[in-house]
Amino acid sequence: MRYKHKEYELLMEGSRGTLYSNGQLMFRGFSYTAMKQFILLCDNPEVTNWFSSQLEMREKPRFAPTEKRTHDS
């Protein structure tokens, strides 16, 4: 699948993602990482919406940030 926004282009093929800026290769690797970089670079809510289903499918953190625990002795 190919996505374009302004000078940025994202090509996603299975688990591999390739990100270009003005035709120059910026990133090639894991598709989720490429997608996140594309979203950050575009800085546009509409672009983020293109990937809402993929972002929602990612596993949410299982644990809240650890709080300082006190132990009764």
Cα 55 versus chain centre, distance: 7
How many residues are given for the chain?
Answer: 73
Query: Which pair of structure tokens corresponds to residue 40?
Result: 């950050």
What pLDDT, on a 0 to 100 scale, did the predictor assign at position 58?
76
Bigger pLDDT: 20 vs 62 = 20
What pTM, to 2 d.p., does this model score?
0.76
> Which among 41, 35, 44, 40 is positioned nearest to 14, based on CA atoms?
35
Residues 28-40 have pLDDT tens digits of 999 999 999 999 9
Strands, sheet with 8-13, edge to edge from the N-terminal-most edge strand? 2-5, 8-13, 16-21, 24-30
What pLDDT, on a 0 to 100 scale, did the predictor assign at position 66?
63
What pLDDT, on a 0 to 100 scale, did the predictor assign at position 59?
63
Work out the number of other CB atoms within 10 angstroms of the CB of residue 34. 20
Residues 43-73 have pLDDT tens digits of 999 999 999 988 888 766 666 666 666 666 5
Whose tokens are 């596993």? That residue is 59
